[in-house]
Amino acid sequence: MPEKLNELTTAERHVIIDKGTEPPFAGKYDDFFEGGLYVCRQCETPLYRSADKFHSHCGWPSFDDEIEGAVKRNRDADGVRIEIVCAACDGHLGHVFEGEGLTNKNIRHCVNSISMKFVSSEAGE
């Protein structure tokens, strides 16, 4: 676990700690495609590159790859889906789906915008 974790708002805690979900099409990164990195809102560990983001029309940011070692997969409490969490702090990110045929990699990380922060490539990343 990282030494320092960012303080979270009530809405951020609901998703990141309590494993909630933000409403579809409500997150700021759903239809956002600038160049840079997406980092964990709670611990700022880099999670995804903008080059791996795609428009899935599902209402949440979608990526077909993660930064190696940054994301852990766990069987969801519903026993069906696969939850994804930050490998550094265990903060809830969303779910991963395979076999949908949306990209050549055939995988979709469906991530809550509120679980991430964006760092522009213009900011030196």
Query: Which residues does the annotation mark as catalytic?
Result: 110
Distance, CA of 54 to CA of 56 (rounded, Å): 6
21: tokens are: 């979900």
Q: At a CB cut-off of 8 Å and minimum separation 6, what does 75 contact?
A: 82, 83
Q: CB burial class (10 A; 0-12, 13-18, 19+) of residue 114?
A: buried
